[in-house]
Structure 1
């Protein structure tokens, strides 16, 4: 079946052309992606932040969570609570503030049963 230009493509030739175009498209995509990644001035910092965040997340027991690039940069700034070596006795001159923190933050976490909502705090039925 001749075409308008006088040249007909067989089915195999058409498949070959389409396959070459697909391969060229994939190679172009990954080539451009690689060039853009190499041109990124913050690439090393992002990789380091990602490694640090993954190490911290595995240390605190968070596994199997996929984070975005932005979330990963924030996670890299988190501090492992088990790695903090400061005790209440190390904080000098703030006795009133320490007592307030212990009463308002720590006590409700340790003694949850004392701070459960009662029927007095609920709206009437």
Structure 2
């Protein structure tokens, strides 16, 4: 019963390795393609850089990992934070608040 149609162990290992390699290449290619086809990719990168800069000014011991763990909504909010030192307007500058 051992005819020429039997598969050797070496052939099975080669088949599994080929399938694994093709799967890995396909996964990373699809991941790269999805990232580069995202129309908001450039704006996300700019928002991440701006949020990192602002959070670094607000708290010097905030880690970069904290910014990378933010979702899109949180990233937009973080990129619009205002550092108190950058506010040039005081209560005296606002008209109508003389009595306050």
- Superposed pair shares fold, TM > 0.5: yes
Q: How much does 1:91 deviate?
A: 0.9
Counterparts of 2:50 and 2:6, CA distance in 1: 59
Residue in 1 that maps onto 2:89: 86
Q: Which has the higher contact order (CA 8 A, sep 6+)?
A: 2
Runs of at least 5 residues in structure 2 that lack an aligned partner in the other structure:
none
Determine the structure 1 residue equivalent to 2:75.
72
Q: Say yes or no: does 1:51 pair with 2:54.
A: no
Rg bigger for which structure? 1
Q: Note the residue ranges of structure 1 that are not aligned, 5 or more in a row.
A: 100-125
After TM superposition, list the pairs within 5 Å mapping 1:1-125 onto structure 2. Answer: 2=2, 6-61=4-59, 63-64=62-63, 65=66, 66-95=69-98, 99=100
Structure 1: distance between partners of 2:79 and 2:92: 29
Shift of 1:25: 0.9
Report the Cα offset of residue 2 of structure 1: 4.1
Give the distance between the partners of 1:12 and 1:91, measured in 2 at CA.
81
